[in-house]
Amino acid sequence: MTTMNESHPNSPLPDPYGVRRGDTLSKIAARCGRTVAELMRFNALANGNRLAIGQTLYLSESTAFGASVLFLDPLRHPIDKLRYRVAFDECKQEGATGADGLIPPFITGSARSRIKVWIQEAGGAWQEVAHVSSDYGHKLVTLTSTALVVASTTRQMPSDALHDLGSTLQTAVHALTRAQPAVPGATTGKSSKNNPAVKTQQTKGLKGQPIVKIEVDLPQGLLDLFGKYSGHEIAEEDWREAAKQLECEP
């Protein structure tokens, strides 16, 4: 009888593969259509005769040396149509990200390969944003932007708006840091799980200068947690519990 932890000798192996009792590298190589030398290279094995039960083996170049790049904005939304360049070994790729923020996955020549990533800025210039090692296993390189792009227009600042604006702003910032935060009001709009809506509004500053106000709807669960805060020190366990309720990372 075959147990749940055993596989039929002729069935295809999952990739990556977990070594089981009775496995040898030559048997695994025969079942996955690879040579022993290839498996040793994919897994940096110095001795093919030494395998440990439960050890993870990569059975292809894709799982051993593959990589993907994901571009996110500060709100962790995928960045669509971002021009990129990727260079590794003697290869280069260029294109635009998809709606999911990903670029097509690629395979480097070895775990020692260096991966460089550039993005094209709004002015057309290229900026290097990553330089990482391929290493072993399929990697997901996640790059998060510090800039948020919104659809809006700039307007001319009134001539008298700059007069003494520095000291006025200093006074306002000092007052804001001393003031108690207002209790959040009721939220409106349709909820969007893990994808808060970004809103823009044209308004004016302290001296009449035009300002684009950017607002993001916070999840109701997060607002409820804010309401429970009593000024005490927030422990590490509190952050983990809050993240668990909101289904996000601490």
Select from 144, 168, 188 the last residue of a domain: 144
pLDDT reading at 34 higher than 90: yes
What's the whole-number mean pLDDT along residues 15-31? Answer: 92
Domain match, 223 and 238 both:
yes
3-state secondary structure of 239: helix
Q: Of 15-24, 48-57, 135-144, 145-154, which range is least confident?
A: 145-154
Number of domains in the chain: 3
Regarding whether 68 and 54 lie in a shared domain, the answer is: no
Half-sphere exposure of 38 (CA within 13 A, CB side): 16
Percent of the chain with pLDDT over 70: 79
Q: Establish if 223 belongs to a structural domain.
A: yes
Q: Are residues 83 and 121 in the same domain?
A: yes
Q: Do 134 and 114 meet the contact criterion of CB atoms below 8 Å apart? A: yes
pLDDT (tens digit, 9 = 90+) per residue, 222-245? Answer: 778 778 777 778 888 888 888 887
Rounded CA separation 165/68 (Å)? 47
Question: Is 53 in the same domain as 72?
Answer: no
pTM over 0.75: no
Query: Given the DSSP bridges, would you call strands 106-107 and 198-204 parallel, antiparallel or unpaired?
Result: unpaired
**Is residue 110 included in any domain, yes or no?**
yes
Q: Is the pLDDT of residue 202 over 60?
A: yes
Q: Are residues 32 and 84 in the same domain?
A: no
Cα 42 to the center of its chain, rounded Å: 26
Tens of pLDDT, residues 172-194: 666 666 665 566 566 666 655 55
Of residues 36 and 146, more confidently modeled = 36
Average pLDDT rounded to a whole number, residues 47-61: 91
- 114 in any annotated domain: yes
Q: How far apart are CA 169 and CA 164, in angstroms?
A: 9
The last residue of a domain, from among 144, 179, 210: 144
204 occurs within a structural domain: no
- CB-count burial class (<10 Å; 0-12, 13-18, 19+) for 136: middle
Contact status, residue 53 vs residue 67, Cβ threshold 8 Å: no
Q: Is position 39 within any domain?
A: yes
Residue with the bigger pLDDT between 220 and 25: it is: 25
Domain with 245 in it: 219-250
Backbone angles phi, psi at 70, to 5 degrees: -120, 130
- Please indicate, yes or no, whether residues 76 and 101 belong to a single structural domain of this protein: yes
Any idea what the CATH number is for the domain that residue 37 is in? 3.10.350.10
Does 179 reside within a domain?
no
Burial 162-178 (b: 16+ CB within 10 A, else e): eeeeeeeeeeeeeeeee
When pLDDT is averaged across residues 35-52 and rounded to a whole number, the result is 91
Last residue of a domain, one of 144, 178, 203: 144
- Weakest mean pLDDT among 25-39, 183-197, 200-214: 183-197
Q: Which of the four pLDDT bands, split at 50, 70 and 90, describes residue 72?
A: very high
Alpha-carbon distance values, 68 to 72, 97, 156 (Å): 13, 11, 43
